[in-house]
Structure 1
Amino acid sequence: MRVVNAPAEISRGTPQRLSNTAERLKKKLERGVGQAIADFDMIGDGDTVMVCVSGGKDSYTLLSCLLALRERAPVDFRIVAVNLDQKQPGFPAEVLPAYFETIGVEYRIVTEDTYSIVRDKIPEGKTTCSLCSRLRRGILYRTAREIGATRIALGHHRDDILETFFLNLFFGGRTKAMPPKLVSDDGEHVVIRPLAYCTEADIARFARAMDYPIIPCNLCGSQENAQRKHVKAMLQGWASEHPGRIESIFTALANVVPSHLMDDALFDFRGLTRATEVAEGDTAFDPPDLPAATLGGIRILG
């Protein structure tokens, strides 16, 4: 049995002093989450936010930030932490309930054996993520209805958004990323990603500082050859060799010029005449404009 230690931020409801490093990371992440919530109007007064907690570093950090921000937010909202126990062999079912009890958050544990379904349907060695995520999504939507959630908060961060963008670009033939806010597949829920401005590196450092009881995923954690792994490595290489490139690409996702792409559903190319007003002119051969300011809280997050 795995022993669950209370994280540094709270021990049996009594706040403890964080290290200087953890305190700086906490403030930085909370600032990023607060900025994303404000920029995309993610949470309003009276909302019930279902925070999906898998036991990974991202969802622990998301829950921590939302609980901290709720204490000083100008609006009142309810937080319910939800974990889906997919019955993976060796899954330490006692860890998350103990953690939730320790920090005093309202929670629900949902048990569904999706592990057996995925293993039965997906051949050995093939990527399980697609089927697993579809099954998980349906269960979480049902749970959201049961608890009356008006928002479903997921722990995807800036790196996840960029990786999804390049996966769609390289393998899907689409200019599409992972939006910070959207309507769920069943049309009944609003899904939010409050960590949209936060980097995986900062989240990982914060999770280590907080000593969260991390639970690894046995389904996808060993699939080193998945395309997302390669895209992640590419982005990490760029971040190391070309400082600022990742920030620029992320900023570009919020600065789209439809008249200078090729999607006739977004811009009426057939109806274009000399009298048509466009956001920008014929700048194809001009030097790129690289403004100092960037989207929302991105620059301050580095």
Structure 2
Amino acid sequence: MTAKEIKRTLQSEFVRTLRKPFVDAVKAYGLVKPSDKVAVCISGGKDSMLLALLLQDLQHTVDFDLVFLAMDPGYAPKGRKHLEENAKRLDIPLEIFDTDVLRVAGVHSAEHPCFLCAKMRRGYLYTEARKRGCNKIALGHHYDDAIGTVLMGLIYGGQVQAMLPRVKAKNYEGMELIRPLYFTREQSVLDWAEYCGLTFLPCDCPAKKLESDTKRAEIKQLIASLAANNPQIEANIFNAVKNVDTAKLLGWRDANGKHNFLDQFE
């Protein structure tokens, strides 16, 4: 399929499963506004490539600017070539910048390289986006990532937290991070990629290749097994962090510090 034909699928075969949830999220959370300049962060995976096409389509109805950024963290030559070929096939004017994130994360955080890698990537992307006059960076996290994060925090982090669709950057004043695929299901993205005959990069990190079963993969399997018996499970997890009753929590923290339910008795 040509780039034009692939983009047309978002107006036809996948308008309900991809375009609609994307537009709904943009409207629900005010993710893109006129005069914005958004840097779409392309990882090389299916989600960020789809996000690039959906944001291009949104330009027909909202007056804003786009740039498309990809960070090469130290890919093998084959991986970078595949990224460039996909961008060309989809008619995405990609700008690639080089870093040594994979090497540094592996050396300085042998036990938890993924955490350091993600943190470094984010910093590089904010910096490069700001250089280009952008006020927002857009990431390809979807609905399944969001519910996975809730359980990751509960089971492995001992905390209640959500992956937010819109975040103010702490260290880059005036900039925001947005997640326009927040309502989009991963299976819909997989179906679209298969329909269009597209293949995308898996994570090229050596550390990840050594882990046959990451924590996020375990959580994904857990959710799937629960959803097999109760189709409402995924929606319930998603909605749980929208309906937190602080009066029934043992403790919580905010900008003013930590709080405890016993505070009311003092």
Q: TM-score range by the shorter chain?
A: 0.7 to 0.9
Q: Larger Cα Rg: Structure 1 or Structure 2?
A: 1
Which of 220, 234, 237 aligns to 2:225? It is 237
Residue aligned with 2:182, SS: coil
Looking at structure 1, the residues matched to 226 and 56 of structure 2 have their Cα atoms a distance apart, in angstroms, of 34
In the alignment, residue 81 of structure 1 is paired with which amino acid?
A: F
Q: For residue 87 of structure 1, what is the aligned residue in structure 2?
A: 74
| Amino acid corresponding to residue 42 of structure 1 in structure 2 | L
Deviations 1:31-74 (A, max 9, x none): 11111111111111011111111111111121122222222x2x
Partner-residue secondary structure (3-state), 2:14: helix
Number of matched residues? 258
Contact 2:37 2:65 survives alignment (8 Å): yes
Going from structure 1 to structure 2, the CA distance change for 1:94 and 1:226 (only over 3 Å counts) comes to: closer
**Cα pair 1:127 1:223 within 8 Å, conserved:** no
1:55-74 to 2 correspondence within 5 Å?
55-71=44-60, 73=61
Kept in 2: contact 1:168–1:176 (CA 8 A):
yes
Name the counterpart of 1:205: 191
Give the alignment partner of residue 179 of structure 1, picking from 139, 142, 164: 164
**1:96 maps onto 2:103 in alignment:** no
1:3 aligned residue: none
Match of residue 217 from structure 1:
203
Unaligned runs of 5+ in 2: none
Q: Deviations over 1:233-289 (max 9, x none)?
A: 1011112221121112212222222223233657895448xxxxxxxxxxxxxxxxx
Task: Map 1:142-291; keep pairs closer than 5 Å.
Answer: 142-188=127-173, 189-219=175-205, 220-263=208-251, 265=253, 270-271=263-264
One-letter amino acid of the counterpart of residue 220, structure 2: K
Aligned partner of 1:113 in structure 2 is 100
Deviation string 1:164-187 (CA, Å, 9 cap, x unpaired) is: 111111122211021111012414
Counterpart contact for 2:126–2:172, Cα < 8 Å: no
For the aligned residue pairs, the C-alpha RMSD in angstroms reads 2.6
SS of aligned partner of 1:50:
strand
**Judging changes above 3 Å, is the alpha-carbon distance between structure 1 residues 25 and 91 closer, same or farther for their aligned structure 2 residues?**
same
Amino acid at match of 1:191: L
Shift of 1:218: 2.4
Whether the 8 Å CA contact 1:48–1:151 is kept in 2: the answer is yes
Is the contact between residue 52 and residue 92 of structure 2 (CA under 8 Å) also seen in structure 1? no
Work out the CA distance in 1 between the residues paired with 2:260 and 2:98.
49
Identity of aligned residues (%): 27
Q: Which moved more, 1:213-222 or 1:58-67?
A: 213-222
Segments of 5+ residues of structure 1 without an aligned counterpart are 1-7, 273-302
Does the Cα contact within 8 Å between 2:150 and 2:161 map onto a contact in 1?
Answer: yes
Q: Deviations over 1:149-172 (max 9, x none)?
A: 111100111111111111111122
For the pair 1:136 / 2:121, whether they are aligned, the reply is yes
CA distance in 1 between counterparts of 2:7 and 2:32 reads 29
Mapped to 1, the partners of 2:114 and 2:230 lie a distance apart of 31
3-state DSSP of counterpart to 1:46: coil
Take 2:236 and 2:252, find their aligned partners in 1: how far apart are those partners? 26
Relative distance call for 1:213 and 1:91 in structure 2 (3 A) is same
Q: CA deviation at 1:127?
A: 4.4
TM-score normalised by the chain length of structure 2: 0.86
Taking the aligned partners of 1:213 and 1:80, their CA distance within structure 2 comes to 23
SS of structure 1 residue aligned to 2:70: strand
CA contact (8 A) 2:250 2:260 kept: no
In structure 2, relative to structure 1, the CA distance for the partners of 1:63 and 1:144 (3 Å cut) is same
Q: Distance in 2 between matches of 1:187 and 1:127?
A: 25
3-state secondary structure, aligned to 1:240: helix
